[in-house]
Amino acid sequence: MAPRLDFSNWWTKDTQKGTPVVVKMDNPTFSVVEINGADAAFRPVEKSRGKNAKQATWVLLLRAHRAVGCVAWLATVLWALLRAIKKRLIHGQGVAVESESDKLEKGKLLFRVIRVFLVTSLAVLAFEVVAYLQGWHFGNPTLHIPRTSDLEGLLHLAYVSWLTFRAEYIAPPIQALSKFCVVLFLIQSVDRILLCLGCFWIKYRKVKPNIVGDPFKSDDVEGSASNYPMVLVQIPMCNEREVYEQSISAVCQIDWPRDRLLIQVLDDSDDESIQWLIKTEVSKWNQKGINIIYRHRLVRTGYKAGNLKSAMSCDYVKDYEFVAIFDADFQPNPDFLKQTVPHFKDSPELGLVQARWSFVNKDENLLTRLQNINLCFHFEVEQQVNGIFLNFFGFNGTAGVWRIKALEESGGWLERTTVEDMDIAVRAHLNGWKFIFLNDVKVPCEVPESYEAYRKQQHRWHSGPMQLFRLCLPAIVRSKVSAWKKANLILLFFLLRKLILPFYSFTLFCIILPLTMFVPEAELPLWVICYVPVFMSLLNILPAPKSFPFIVPYLLFENTMSVTKFNAMVSGLFQLGSSYEWVVTKKAGRSSESDLLAAAEREAKSIEHPKIHRGASDSDLIENQLKEHKEESPAKVKKSNKIYKKELTLAFLLLTASVRSLLSAQGVHFYFLLFQGVTFLLVGLDLIGEQMS
């Protein structure tokens, strides 16, 4: 067919003029064209049209400016990150690789597994990129494998073979494992929801343990002190240079009759200079009339459990009815014993009264803020609900008062695990003793400010319970407690909250999710990686509402910590060497000038000492205390970073998976993997929290 030719009347301007013209050609292959008027393309341009073109130009320029600004910002962030990496890897002379324990083969199996996943993912990513550029990309949900006749080249054939192998052999086991982990995830989420509902009920009904009347009131004024029971206070410590003074000072100012109170400072320090400092502090308070003694073991066996066991073997302990325990960084208020000990009166079955922790350094850095969220949920929800409804929870190892009879009947302190506090709590519960948690009684303490200290603490807290579970499972099964209590101990206390939680958190979000980017047949639904985790994070953050702006870092950091918790859980469950390690948590011992002034005022009011007050003003006393504190504080040591290979390897695995998700145009998956990979990278380079000195 002949082409159609459209001619225009170039000589026309605004209106259609002239008479229609019919052109007849002799060549029959051409068609007849009727010209009706001027073509619109050749009409004069209106002024408004030029104006709109200028506006469009400015809009394009503005968008280009914003795009350039965004690219510049990303480049700045990337450059800062590269500089930080260079500083840690090259210029940091104090940089140490995470595992000096590599020589002891600690954690090498998990690292090798993660490294294999990373290498495999990089190879598959390169393969997928080549296939994508060649137009062989077959994504979900319509997976199309071309026919053999369409294949051209060995690489194309290999890609189709990979798709078939992936769909038939790799996807099914990943789907089965992901479904199993999702079920565990939902079960644990239901447990959290029930705990939160219990907490809401407690708040609504205002249920809490109360003290009836005045348990120490007596008509006989001279014998009023005899109504106070004999209380032993123990302060176990080991090389606690930063916090020993404030802890001993706080305990010595507890409001309790002096003849009814004995303080034991249980020092396991192997540094003679620290031993001398603690002895001097104990001697100072002893001269002020405080009944306090210093104990030091020559052989440090059993760690904290061995220290407490040795102290309880003293002959004078039989004269005391209760024992209060405070770690070296805890500073109880003067009314602590008056708020806790009265609960034992008229309750012979009560074995433990546990107080809540509060944190003096919770706003120090991002790491301490995230720890505060976790621990607030632990005390406000878990401990309080279990204490009200079950009369049982895990002893926190400090800030608690035990009935000495309950300790003795339960077998005392045992050195078989690194969680001696949980061990004695489980055995006391099996013997029928009840526990009370006081959410309103708070004892100030510190949380670790460096990731290295926090990591070691979490390793001990998650390996010890699994080690204890292996040891006490036969005793739980043979015990005479009700079937409900046995089920609660085995299924909820140990399996769900100590084993299942780190297992599914690490497996689902750190292994399965990045793998599904390379195996799209096993892709996780959006509600698993977004909706449910965000909702559970909201529940966790409710006890600390001021931390709401940190909900996203909290979610990402908890997934990052799942590596350490999973490794610790496995080492404790299979009794690997690292499960028996006990590392004292590093404390900062931050004491501001206002804290020292307040301590001096309390000391001046509560303790009358003629030698101190005679001839010295309050300002002189405060100045001397500040001067002594500065002199005793150790010299500052250069701080350094550590590099954590597992976290770095997982960071690159997640970032590789995020790049793969771009090929499938998966928005939420991409952002989650990207931010989670960056979080692993920051933690792996030790860029969160304070650095160790």
- The catalytic residue positions are 268, 421
217 token code pair: 């009131």
- Please, what sign has the CA dihedral across residues 283, 285, 291, 294? negative
* Residue 294 neighbours by CB distance under 10 Å: 18
> Residue 235: what are its φ and ψ, rounded to 5°?
-125, 90
Give the C-alpha distances (Å, rounded to integers) separating 111 from 108, 504, 579, 651, 666. 5, 18, 17, 13, 28
> Residue 150: what are its φ and ψ, rounded to 5°?
-90, -10
Coil, strand, or helix at residue 94? coil
526 token code pair: 């959006």
| Cα separation, 574 vs 307, whole angstroms | 26
**Whether 358 contacts 331, CB under 8 Å:** no
| Cα separation, 499 vs 489, whole angstroms | 13
DSSP state string for 263-323: EEEEE----HHHHHHHHHHHHHHHHTT--EEEEE-SS--SHHHHHHHHHHTSGGGGG-SEE
| Cα separation, 135 vs 126, whole angstroms | 14
Give the C-alpha distances (Å, rounded to integers) separating 510 from 172, 505, 605, 634. 19, 8, 56, 41
| Cα separation, 570 vs 86, whole angstroms | 34
Reported as type and span, the H/E element at residue 404 is helix 404-409
Reference 443, options 407, 401, 406; nearest CA is 401
461 token code pair: 């807290």
Query: Residue 63 carries which DSSP code?
Result: H
**Whether 422 contacts 383, CB under 8 Å:** no
**Whether 450 contacts 586, CB under 8 Å:** yes
587 token code pair: 């404390």
Coil, strand, or helix at residue 106? coil
| Cα separation, 266 vs 324, whole angstroms | 13
